[in-house]
Amino acid sequence: MAHLVLLGDSIFDNGAYTGAGPAVIAQVRKRIPVGWRATLCAVDGASIMDVGAQLPKVPRDAERLVLSIGGNDVLRHAELLERAVTTGAEAIDLIGEAARGFEAAYHDMLHPCLQIDRHMVICTIYSGNFPDPAYQRVVNVALAPFNDAIIRLGLEHGLTIVDLRSVCNAPADYANPIEPSSIGGAKIARAIVRAAMGDWSEAPVARIIG
C-alpha cells in the first residue's frame, strides 16, 4: 500500500475556491489504486519557508511526497512587472536577481523533504489565468526563470517533475486568476497519481534525468 502526502500551497489545498466541487485531495483519493492512501499537508497561502512547518505533520508511513510550492513567493515579486527601467537588460537583471533568491530558498527547503522521500515529486508553477492578454504574456515570460530553477533542482536530485503549466492550460482550469478550479484540480490530481505510479507514457509528467 502506498501513502501519498501533498505538501505546499493552495494548488493542492484548493477547497476554498471550488464552490460545491471537490478539492484536489478528494480527486486524488478518487483516482489512486485500491489500498493506497493520500494525506493533505499543504496549506493555502504557504510559501517556500512554510514547507518546513508542514513536514512534522507528514505521517510516518508516508511513501511519496508531492510538492507544489513557490507561486506565492513569485507573487511577492509582481511589482517588478510595473517597475520603470531604462533598458530591457535592466528588467531582465531584476527578474534574474529575484529568481536567484528563489532558487536558493527552494534549494534549502528541498533538503529536509528529501530526507523523508528522496524520490519525491515536485511541480512547476503554472501561468495562471489573467484577464488582460498582454499581462498574461508578460507573466508567462517572467515565470520562466523561476520554473527553470525548480526544474534544475529537480534534475540535480533526479526527481519526477510535473509541469503544471501544461496541466492547467485552459481558462476553465482556474477558479480565479491564480487558484485551480475543480476542473483544473481534476487534471492536477490525475498528473499527481500518474507521477506517483511512475507512468511516463504521456505529457505533462516526465521522469527527467539530467
Number of CB atoms found within 10 A of residue 110's CB = 22
Residue 163 in grid coordinates? 509541469
DSSP letter at 33 equals P
H helix intervals, the chain: 24-31, 51-54, 71-75, 88-116, 133-157, 164-167, 182-197
Rounded to 10°, the helix 24-31/182-197 angle is 40
Q: How far apart are CA 92 and CA 180, in angstroms?
A: 29
pLDDT digits (tens, 9 = 90+) for 125-160: 999 999 999 999 999 999 999 999 999 999 899 899
Range of the domain at 142: 3-207
Burial class (CB in 10 A: 0-12, 13-18, 19+), 210: exposed
Residue 1 has pLDDT above 80, yes or no: no
| Domain containing residue 51: CATH number | 3.40.50.1110
Residue 207 pLDDT level (bands cut at 50, 70, 90) = low
> Residue 149 to residues 31, 63, 182: CA-CA distances in angstroms?
30, 25, 28
In percent, the amount of the chain with pLDDT more than 90 equals 78
pLDDT digits (tens, 9 = 90+) for 55-79: 999 999 999 999 999 999 999 987 7
> Residue 91 to residues 78, 103, 143, 150, 197: CA-CA distances in angstroms?
13, 19, 13, 21, 41
Give the number of domains in the chain.
1
pLDDT digits (tens, 9 = 90+) for 32-44: 999 999 999 999 9
